[in-house]
C-alpha cells in the first residue's frame, strides 16, 4: 500500500533507514568501522544490577526517574564543576538519540531555525526535519593541525529572528575536536547576544586525549539557563543496546522537556538502577576502554599518515579518526562505497555529516588492534589501486 497519502510529510521526505551493525550483511571478511558502537561489552556487574533491581521489585511506574539514578548523575556532573539539583534539573531518556528528539521536540515549531555545524553528527538531522525546523548549516574551519573548529563569527552571522538554538558537540563526532574555553565563551556570547539556546551534546566526555579537558557548556557564565546538556551511557559504558541517556537543563527547561509526550519516562526502571551502579563502580571499566582506544588512535593516526594521499589529524577526543582523503582524488561517497566493495572495509563518508566534509571519511576504532592493522593495509591497497597517479 502506498502510505504517502497518510504519512506525515516530514517523514516521507526523510527517505531511507539507518546503518547499524546488524544492518550490515554478515560477512566474515568485513571489517566494520562504520558505526560508533564500541566493541567492548558492558561489565557483568551492570547486567546483574538490572536483574537485582527487578528481583527487588523495582518494576513499577516511575514518572521522572528514580532518585538513586538522578543523585548519581548529579554527583557525576559535579565532578566537572557544575552543581545541579537532581530533582528539578534532569530528564531521563533511553539514550542520547531520545534526548536529542526530546530537546528538539521541546523547542522547535515548524519553520523555526536550528544551527547545525557542518560537519555534524547525522542523528540531529532527522529529528530537526521531523519537527519541521529549518537546519541552518555553518561550516567548521580547519586549524593548522587539520582539526575542525567552530567558526563563531559565521555562527553569529547565521542567526536570524527565527533561530531557536545552536547544536554543538564536544568532544565532537565526527571531527574529534574538543572545544576550548575560549571557543565556548565566544559561543556563549553569541547565544546571549542573539537570545538563543545551546544544545550541548556531551556524550563523549570520557574520551578526551592529551592535555585537553572537558568543559561543560553549562559551566560558562551566562549559559546556566541557556544550555540543554545531552548525555548518554552508550559510549561511556559501552551501553549502546541497553539505552540510557539524560538531559541536564534549568528547572524551567526540564519541566518543558518532561512535557514532551514520549511515554511516562524514556528509560526502564531496572536499567536506571544499573545506571546508578555504573556511575558508582564503572570507572575501572571506563579506564580500561580509554587505554585501549588511546592505543588504537596512536597506531591508526600514525599508520594512516604513512599512506600517500591521506592526512589524518590526531583527534582531541572521541574514538574516531576522520582522515582527509581529498588527495586520493575521489569523492567521499564513492571512496566509501568502493572501499566496502573492493576491500570489505566499512567507514562513514564525510558527506554524510555535511558538504563541508567532502574529501573525508570517518572510521570508528571499534575493533581490535590486529583488525585495525588489517583495515589500514586495505586502505593502503585501495588507495594505491584507485588513487590519483
Ligand X SMILES: Cc1ncc(COP(=O)(O)O)c(C=O)c1O
Can you give the binding site for ligand X, defined by CB under 6 A?
36, 95-97, 121, 123, 169, 173, 201, 203, 232, 234, 240, 245
What's the CA gap between 318 and 264, in Å, rounded?
32
CB of 20 or CB of 337, closer to ligand X: 20
For the bound state, the minimum distance from the C-beta of residue 19 to ligand X, rounded and expressed in Å, comes to: 11
Smaller CB distance to ligand X: residue 303 or 362?
362
Smaller CB distance to ligand X: residue 254 or 318?
A: 318
DSSP secondary structure letters along 334-348: HHHHHHHHHH-EE-E
Smallest gap from Cβ 173 to ligand X, in A, equals 4
At closest approach, how far in Å is the CB of 215 from ligand X?
17
Nearest CA-CA partner of 209 in 320, 284, 316: 316
Q: Which runs of consecutive H residues, i.e. helices, occur in the chain?
A: 9-14, 44-55, 67-78, 96-107, 125-130, 152-158, 181-194, 233-236, 251-258, 269-281, 283-305, 332-343, 369-386
Rank residues 104 and 121 by Cβ distance to ligand X and give the closer one: 121
Q: Which residues contact 68 (CB under 8 A, 6 or more apart)?
A: 272, 273, 276
Cβ closest to ligand X, residue 37 vs residue 338: 37
- Our CB check for ligand X shows the closer of 99 and 330 to be 99
% helix, strand, coil for the chain, step of 5: 40, 15, 45
Considering the complex, state which of residue 207 and residue 382 has its C-beta at the smaller distance from ligand X: 207
Question: What does the alpha-carbon distance between residue 221 and residue 360 come to, in Å, rounded to a whole number?
Answer: 35
Residue 2: how many other CB atoms lie within 10 Å: 6
* Min CB(353)–ligand X separation in Å: 10
Q: Are strands 134-139 and 113-118 parallel, antiparallel or unpaired?
A: parallel
Closest contact distance (angstroms) between CB of 382 and ligand X is 25
CA distance 231 to 126: 19
Q: Which long-range contacts (CB under 8 A, 24 or more apart) does 23-27 make?
A: 24/346, 27/344
Give min distance, CB of 388 to ligand X, in A: 32
Instruction: Output the smallest distance, CB 119 to ligand X, in A.
Output: 11
Do residues 288 and 299 touch, judged by C-beta distance below 8 A? no
Amino acid at each position: 500500500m502506498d502510505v504517502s497519502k497518510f504519512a506525515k510529510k516530514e517523514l516521507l521526505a526523510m527517505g531511507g533507514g539507518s546503518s547499524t551493525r546488524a544492518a550490515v550483511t554478515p560477512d566474515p571478511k568485513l571489517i566494520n568501522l562504520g558505526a560508533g558502537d564500541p566493541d567492548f561489552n558492558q561489565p557483568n556487574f551492570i547486567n546483574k544490577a538490572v536483574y537485582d533491581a527487578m528481583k527487588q521489585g523495582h518494576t513499577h511506574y516511575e514518572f521522572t526517574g528514580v532518585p538513586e539514578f538522578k543523585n548519581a548523575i548529579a554527583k557525576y556532573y559535579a565532578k566537572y564543576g557544575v552543581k545541579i539539583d537532581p530533582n528539578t534539573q534532569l530528564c531521563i531518556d533511553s539514550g542520547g538519540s531520545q534526548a536529542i528528539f526530546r530537546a528538539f521536540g521541546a523547542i522547535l515549531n515548524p519553520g523555526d531555525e536550528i544551527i547545525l555545524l557542518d560537519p555534524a553528527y547525522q542523528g540531529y538531522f532527522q529529528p530537526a526535519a521531523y519537527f519541521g525546523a529549518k537546519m541552518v548549516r555553518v561550516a567548521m574551519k580547519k586549524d593548522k593541525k587539520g582539526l575542525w573548529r567552530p567558526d563563531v563569527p559565521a555562527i553569529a552571522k547565521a542567526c536570524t529572528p527565527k533561530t531557536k538554538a545552536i547544536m554543538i558537540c564536544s568532544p565532537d563526532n565526527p571531527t574529534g575536536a574538543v572545544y576550548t574555553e575560549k571557543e565556548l565563551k565566544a559561543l556563549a556570547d553569541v547565544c546571549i547576544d542573539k537570545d538563543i539556546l545551546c544544545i550541548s551534546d556531551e556524550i563523549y566526555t570520557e574520551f578526551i586525549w592529551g592535555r585537553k579537558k572537558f568543559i561543560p557548556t553549562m559551566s560558562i557564565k551566562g549559559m546556566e539557563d541557556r544550555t540543554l546538556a545531552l548525555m548518554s551511557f552508550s559510549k561511556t559504558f559501552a551501553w549502546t543496546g541497553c539505552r540510557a541517556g539524560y538531559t541536564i537543563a534549568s528547572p524551567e527547561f526540564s519541566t518543558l522537556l518532561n512535557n514532551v509526550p514520549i511515554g511516562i519516562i524514556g528509560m526502564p526502571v531496572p536499567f536506571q538502577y544499573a545506571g546508578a551502579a555504573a556511575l558508582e563502580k564503572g570507572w575501572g571499566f571506563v579506564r580500561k576502554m580509554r587505554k585501549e582506544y588511546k592505543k588504537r588512535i596512536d597506531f591508526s593516526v600514525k599508520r594512516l599518515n604513512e599512506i600517500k594521499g591521506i592526512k589524518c589529524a590526531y583527534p582531541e577526543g572521541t574514538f574516531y579518526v576522520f582522515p582527509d582523503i581529498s588527495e586520493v582524488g575521489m569523492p567521499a561517497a564513492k571512496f566509501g562505497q568502493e572501499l566496502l566493495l573492493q576491500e570489505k572495509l566499512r567507514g562513514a563518508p564525510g558527506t554524510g555529516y555535511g558538504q563541508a566534509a567532502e574529501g573525508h571519511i570517518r572510521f570508528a576504532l571499534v575493533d581490535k588492534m590486529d583488525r585495525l592493522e588489517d583495515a589500514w593495509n586495505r586502505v593502503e591497497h585501495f588507495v594505491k589501486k584507485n588513487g590519483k597517479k
